[in-house]
Amino acid sequence: MRRTGTTSHGTRRRPAASRRRPAALLALALGAALTVALPPPASAAARVDNPYAGATPYVNPDWSARAAAEPGGGAIADEPSFVWMDRIAAIEGTGDAKGLREHLDTALEQGADLFQVVVYDLPGRDCAALASNGELGPTEIDRYRNEYIDPIADILADPAYAGLRIVTLIEPDSLPNLVTNAGGTDGSTEACATMKANGNYEKGVGYALHTLGAIPNVYNYVDAAHHGWLGWDSNFVPAAQEFKKAATTEGATVSDVHGFIVNTANYSALKEPHFKVTDAVNGTTVRQSKWVDWNYYVDELSFAQALRTELVRQGFAQDIGMLIDTARNGWGGSARPTSAGPLTGVDAYVDGGRVDRRIHAGNWCNQSGAGIGERPTAAPEPGIDAYVWAKPPGESDGNSRPIDNDEGKGFDRMCDPTYTGNGRNGYNLSGALPDSPLAGHWFSAQFQELVRNAYPPLGGGSA
Ligand code: BGC
């Protein structure tokens, strides 16, 4: 997701287990020795290297119906997206939303063999922003374990679901916030400093990885922010180290991590086709442009692949895979540049050519002008397990005005289109669309714009 906006330059924004499964190997060896054909328990199937390869992912019918009801939405309504468990009540389901079990049962009815779920309810959630503050206070790690992770694990471990590859997306924004927003940077907040000091993000993530990683058909992917958050040398390696620390906490090991996901609920372009980070204009590197601002990456694909290499260097498995959320990073439509910018200076060159049309790369809430990105695709590039839709298009990032609610959500001015406080110099508009509802609630106007600005464009005259 997001959060990068206001940190200071420099510090700024900013298989599991064994894919070799000893038990399964042993069973095979025994079976051979005894020449007894023991049917492997359905739940003991070895994890595959890339769960998306050859898979049929679950299409959430609730999202699908909302998408199909919008003009042009039919063109994407059959795409798979993640189901968010964003509060304890979501596990059992609420009036208008299916619970976890009902989603899984529906997946089986659909004939799907892959299910994608976001685990998102840490104590003190969303510490650098307000729009997705959660229900658990900073110290409520026991409730997180007992009332949230354990019930989810009980359901996912049900043998009825053993034939599904279950992809979990672990706790968006949490560990990246510990890296860039928990002290010593302009973007730091008290709330993040508290979560760093009490260790409850790391404990929660470790507990989730360990508990869910014990289920043989679960594939854990940890959230790793995006290039506009962790692409600086001051935070890139520290982030990989932070991920390793959390993944070796509370009984978890690096084997509980199948991979990582970048760009969750964010808008960073997958590929910037008209400029590279190594380009220079009249001898000045594009890294000096206002937009790039000394980042080492200009898009998500290059960031994801480089981060993967660093994570392996830090001790994660050689065969970890990356996911990229491409739900809303398409940046098509008439504002999309078709060639490089003029060579009159680095800013003109970068701003004229970049397809990411945000006002500032740290803007994250309901971005004006964005479009649907690549459709979910398995194994699209080396090191990438899949392009996925983690944030269901049409669901708001946050409310543009204060709204009373019982979800724990606050009002973040990054969702207010009149706010100008973002960025190092604090004068960039937020770029947010007006009149948005609470995070996670349906935002019809945004959905329609995303469809119109899809890139690659949607076929079938959807606009
Ligand atoms: C919200 C969640 C929601 C998710 C998916 C998050 O920003 O806080 O409540 O489920 O987005 O839309």
84-98 tens-digit pLDDT:
999 999 999 988 899
Annotation says 173 is catalytic: yes
* Dihedral sign from CA coordinates of 383, 388, 391, 394: positive
Q: 64 CB less than 6 Å from ligand 1?
A: no
Residue 168 bridge partners (DSSP): 117, 220
Predicted confidence (pLDDT) at residue 32 exceeds the cutoff of 80: no
What percent of the chain has pLDDT above 90? 86
* Max avg pLDDT among 16-20, 193-197, 405-409: 193-197
* Dihedral sign from CA coordinates of 224, 240, 252, 188: negative
Query: Given the CA of residue 395, which atom of ligand 1 is nearest to it?
Result: 12
Contact 193, 256 (CB under 8 A): no
Q: 392 CB less than 6 Å from ligand 1?
A: yes
Domains, the chain, in order of start with CATH, read: 59-452 (3.20.20.40)
Residue type, position 318, single letter: Q
- Out of 23-37, 61-75, 337-351, pick the least confident: 23-37
Write down the pLDDT at residue 424: 65
What's the rounded mean pLDDT across residues 130-159? 98
Instruction: For residue 26, name the pLDDT band (cuts at 50, 70, 90).
Output: very low
CA of 395 from ligand 1 middle (Å) equals 7
d(CA 406, CA 389): 27
Residue type, position 34, single letter: L
Annotation says 158 is catalytic: no
Write down the pLDDT at residue 358: 97
Predicted confidence (pLDDT) at residue 311 exceeds the cutoff of 50: yes
Residue 323 bridge partners (DSSP): 261, 386
Write down the pLDDT at residue 43: 42
Q: How many other β-carbons are positioned within 10 Å of the β-carbon of residue 31?
A: 14
Instruction: For residue 186, name the pLDDT band (cuts at 50, 70, 90).
Output: confident
Ligand 1, atom 9, residue with closest C-alpha: 440
Write down the pLDDT at residue 45: 59
d(CA 116, CA 119): 10
Closest CA to 456 of 282, 271, 292, 214: 271
Closest CA to 121 of 90, 82, 98: 90
Closest CA to 357 of 324, 333, 335: 335
Residue type, position 340, single letter: A
Q: Classify residue 21 by its DSSP letter.
A: -
Residue 11's H or E segment, with its range, is none
Predicted confidence (pLDDT) at residue 19 exceeds the cutoff of 50: no
CA of 254 from ligand 1 middle (Å) equals 27
Q: 412 CB less than 6 Å from ligand 1?
A: no
CB-based burial label for 223 (10 Å; 0-12, 13-18, 19+): buried
- From 2, 103, 120, mutation site for ligand 1 pocket: most ligand atoms within 8 A of C-beta: 120
* 39-88 residue pLDDT tens: 444 444 589 999 999 999 999 999 999 999 999 999 999 999 999 999 99
CB-based burial label for 273 (10 Å; 0-12, 13-18, 19+): middle
Write down the pLDDT at residue 94: 85
What burial letters (b/e) apply to 96-115, b meaning 16+ CB within 10 Å? Answer: ebbbbbebbebbeeeebbbb
Write down the pLDDT at residue 427: 84
Instruction: For residue 373, name the pLDDT band (cuts at 50, 70, 90).
Output: very high
* 199-229 residue pLDDT tens: 999 999 999 999 999 999 999 999 999 999 9
Write down the pLDDT at residue 207: 98
Residue 169 bridge partners (DSSP): 118, 221
- Out of 26-30, 104-108, 329-333, 382-386, pick the least confident: 26-30
d(CA 318, CA 320): 6
Predicted confidence (pLDDT) at residue 384 exceeds the cutoff of 70: yes
What's the rounded mean pLDDT across residues 317-344? 98
d(CA 57, CA 114): 4
Contact 300, 262 (CB under 8 A): yes
Q: What is the mean pLDDT of the chain?
A: 91
What burial letters (b/e) apply to 275-311, b meaning 16+ CB within 10 Å? Answer: bebebebeeeebbebebbbebebbbbbbbbbbbbeeb
Predicted confidence (pLDDT) at residue 37 exceeds the cutoff of 80: no
Residue 380's H or E segment, with its range, is strand 377-381
Ligand 1, atom 2, residue with closest C-alpha: 440
192 versus 22: which is more confidently predicted?
192
Instruction: For residue 31, name the pLDDT band (cuts at 50, 70, 90).
Output: very low
Write down the pLDDT at residue 24: 36
What's the rounded mean pLDDT across residues 379-403? 98
d(CA 118, CA 25): 31
Write out the two tokens for 11: 């510090």
Helical H segments across 48-99, by residue range: 61-68, 88-92
Residue 143 bridge partners (DSSP): none
d(CA 40, CA 311): 33
What's the rounded mean pLDDT across residues 144-155? 98
Closest CA to 220 of 178, 188, 261: 261
Instruction: For residue 293, name the pLDDT band (cuts at 50, 70, 90).
Output: very high
* Choice among 126, 173, 223, 412 that is catalytic: 173
